Structure 1
């Protein structure tokens, strides 16, 4: 697991960059745009790249064969470019240059995000992937927390410092990965591109995969809507201050970080599907209960519990969908995973925002709970024979 912790630096750099980007770029856009709708649209650029580019890159990386391996070449191209453009973002001189740097940064990150994620299952046997995913998500969560707590201080000192710091961290992380990970040595079963079985896209969409992708879409639809609109819900529906609302949302994020590694261990011990179903069922109840809460302490306790249940889902879902396919299609399936999570991220805020316009803020957690319930229904269609429990320390479980 030592290499997994070090691989976590890749996720650390991605998370810290996205957190800083999401926290501070809206302030830059606000200097040029008066429409919050337009600002919100500009902040979804990454999801459109994820929708179209990441599946293609993930699929291409499955077929790549260089002396560095099949994933690392994409990191070697994308990470330096991303570091350059994230460093340039605060030095924009107009809306045109700001948007150009934003687009180029998002484009660069789309080049290496899927291959970085795919490296984890590449170097980890199937029975330890939930545990490994917990570790790398823990690293990513630490990066996001640092971005908020340290990045805010740096931003107050100079608007460029958080972005320059993210650029330096990205380059250092690439150096660590290049030094530690040797794909042809560390991959569980490295197969040269010319020797890999040719798999059609249709062959990847077996029954269990289709049902799991449906579940992924609906639980991300629920999560993304809550994440995007919770602070407004707290302010306008519960009468909290902006600071109280943001701090309350932080309980959810903190619980996610703390529960990341335990959730991976639970997935390994009791089975990914079982732990995911517990997490989804828990959030159905938590989100429904929040609709009846109007006091700060119970709200924060429920958000804390919600973060734990979300960790059970988020940590185990990616290893689960990888385990339903073949080893040589990890990159492609990573891309497919991001397509459905990105579709939810694109659809959820405007959908829930429109419902709030019609019915008021009280509708937010009713919809979030209902969306989780639909996800739970999809999970019943997933057959996880061979994936129910990771009982061995070596070897691969069979595919569904």
Structure 2
């Protein structure tokens, strides 16, 4: 678990950087773009890179074989580049250089996100992965909270200060990960153990019926979540008559509940099964989103959002380990890339789709659509006959040379 907490530094630095990026880059873009739609489009660049690059990078990392391991080379290249270009963003001299630094930062971040996340199952036995994913997401949540908590104060000193801070944290995390995390393949090599050559991993082979149904469920629940996250402030101000501050602050209750319940949801997934806990979370959010249609009170809105954050933790903490568990150990990077492809596709699809439904049917369509999206996810889950484990896994399974 000590190694897992230290590995969480990688996700901590990613979440911290993205939170600062999402908070302040729109302010830079506003100096050049006067239409919110264009600013919103520019802020989705990372999702397009995720769709194109992350499946390929994850797949390539499965086939990488160096003295530094399978995943670490991508961190050693991507993290310094990400730190440099993040630091350069507020130092732009015009619209062209701003877009250039944004694109280069997004490209750099795409190089190491999937390999960083794939390190967790690499060094963790299958039956402990939901707990480990809870730890990693908890660290990521702390990164986001820290970014929002001190980001504005640092921004007040100078627009470049938060980004310099993020770059330093990212570089420090890289050095810690390089010093502490030893991949099983590297440890085997150092111990003089010969490994049998593995059959090549093909992305198409990973898309069996069980995996496709899980991925479809992931797509539908991310469509619901991303739509609510992107459009909730508009819902609060236009439909409930809240101020901008009240609406954005209300959504914080959802995020904090997720953060607090990240570790317990991983423990529940390990004890009772990932599919069972995810199904409870999806069913719960169907009820929560359905109930929010009728809520006019700010107090009850925030109470339901707290409960919703707990249910979202049940889903999000257990879904990635479940995707990994349905395949071979050699396909972890490939499956990580596919997972991010589906979630990023949902992030691109959801805001304009749910926004269009709001335009046609009114603001109540937001939570009606979100509830229906969760219902579609539940239908996909019901199609998965059992929670299949990858070959050679089980409560007794140990990864050879894995760090304890």
**In 2, Cα distance between equivalents of 1:381 and 1:320:** 15
- 2:43 aligns with 43
> 3-state DSSP class of the match of 2:310?
helix
* 1:319-338 pair list within 5 angstroms: 319-338=321-340
> 3-state DSSP class of the match of 1:195?
coil
- 1:265 aligns with 267
Deviation at 1:197, TM superposition (A): 1.7
Deviation at 1:44, TM superposition (A): 0.2
2:224–2:373 CA contact under 8 A, matched in 1: yes
For the pair 1:392 / 2:395, whether they are aligned, the reply is yes
Out of 222, 227, 230, the residue aligned to residue 228 of structure 1 is 230
Deviates more, 1:181-190 or 1:162-171: 181-190
* 1:283-294 pair list within 5 angstroms: 283-294=285-296
Deviation at 1:201, TM superposition (A): 2.4
Deviation at 1:134, TM superposition (A): 0.1
**In 2, Cα distance between equivalents of 1:350 and 1:157:** 36
Deviation at 1:35, TM superposition (A): 1.0
- 1:296 aligns with 298
Cα-to-partner distance string for 1:174-204 (whole Å, 9 max, x where unaligned): 0110010111467799998981122332221
For the pair 1:115 / 2:115, whether they are aligned, the reply is yes
Deviation at 1:122, TM superposition (A): 0.2
Out of 207, 210, 214, the residue aligned to residue 208 of structure 1 is 210
> 3-state DSSP class of the match of 1:294?
coil
Deviation at 1:32, TM superposition (A): 0.3
TM-score w.r.t. structure 1 length? 0.95
**In 2, Cα distance between equivalents of 1:248 and 1:210:** 35
Cα-to-partner distance string for 1:8-42 (whole Å, 9 max, x where unaligned): 00000000000000111001101100111110100
- 1:182 aligns with 182
- 1:78 aligns with 78
- 2:366 aligns with 364
Deviation at 1:393, TM superposition (A): 5.2
Out of 376, 380, 388, the residue aligned to residue 378 of structure 1 is 380
2:20–2:162 CA contact under 8 A, matched in 1: yes
**In 2, Cα distance between equivalents of 1:187 and 1:257:** 33
Cα-to-partner distance string for 1:53-92 (whole Å, 9 max, x where unaligned): 0111000000001100010000000000000000000011
Deviates more, 1:214-223 or 1:151-160: 151-160
Q: Structure 2: 5+ residue runs without aligned partners?
A: 400-404
